[in-house]
Amino acid sequence: MTQTDDVIADVLRRTRRIAVVGLSANEERPSHGVTRFLVRQGYDVVGVNPRLGGQVVAGVPVFATLAEIPHDVDMVDVFRIPAQVPPVLDEALARFPNLPTLWLQLGITHPEAEAKAAAQGVTVISNRCPAIEAPRLRGMGLDVAPVG
C-alpha cells in the first residue's frame, strides 16, 4: 500500500465523518486524545466501543458496533490490536460497502486485511496517526483541512 504524503493529505482533506474503533473513556489513552484532536480539526467523529455504547466520550457519541452507526462514514480509524483488524474490516465493509478509507493507528498493521481492503477499493493507511500526520503535512505546506 502506498502511503505517500499526497495520499495521506488527500485522505485528510476528503474525509468528513470518522468512526474511531476502540475509543476509550480513559483520557490518557491515545484513542481519546486523537478523537479530541479530530473533533478540533472539524471532523464529525463517532466512537465505537461495545462497553461504552450509548455514552458520550471525548465529546462524541459512542456506538457499541459499527453496524449501529446511523450514517455513512468516510474513514474507520482503528485502535485495536492487529489480530482484531480482520473482523473490524469485515464489519466495516458490511456496514459501509463503499468505505473510502481504513486507517490503522501507530503500531497497527495487518497485511492480509490491508490487501483485502485495497482490493475492494478502500484507501488504506497503516501504522500512522492523523494527529501526527496532519500537523506534519501542514508544516510541509500541504493542505489537510477537511473540505466543506
Whole-angstrom distance, CA of residue 133 vs CA of residue 84: 24
* pLDDT tens per residue, range 84-130: 999 999 999 999 999 999 999 999 999 999 999 999 999 999 999 99
* pLDDT tens per residue, range 19-39: 999 999 999 999 999 999 999
Q: List the beta bridge partners of residue 61.
A: 56
Q: List the beta bridge partners of residue 48.
A: 21, 63
Model confidence at 148, in pLDDT bands (50, 70, 90)?
low
**Mean predicted confidence (pLDDT) in 42-70:** 97
Going from the N-terminus, what domains does the chain have, and what CATH number goes with each? Answer: 5-138 (3.40.50.720)
* Max Cα–Cα distance, the chain, nearest Å: 40
**Sequence-distant (≥ 6) Cβ neighbours of residue 128 within 8 angstroms:** 3, 8, 103, 104, 105, 106
Beta strands in 64-131 (DSSP E): 75-78, 101-104, 123-125
Question: Which residue is associated with the grid cell 482490493?
Answer: 119
Whole-angstrom distance, CA of residue 94 vs CA of residue 43: 23
What is the four-CA torsion angle of 104, 72, 32, 83, rounded to 10 degrees? -30
**Mean predicted confidence (pLDDT) in 57-78:** 98
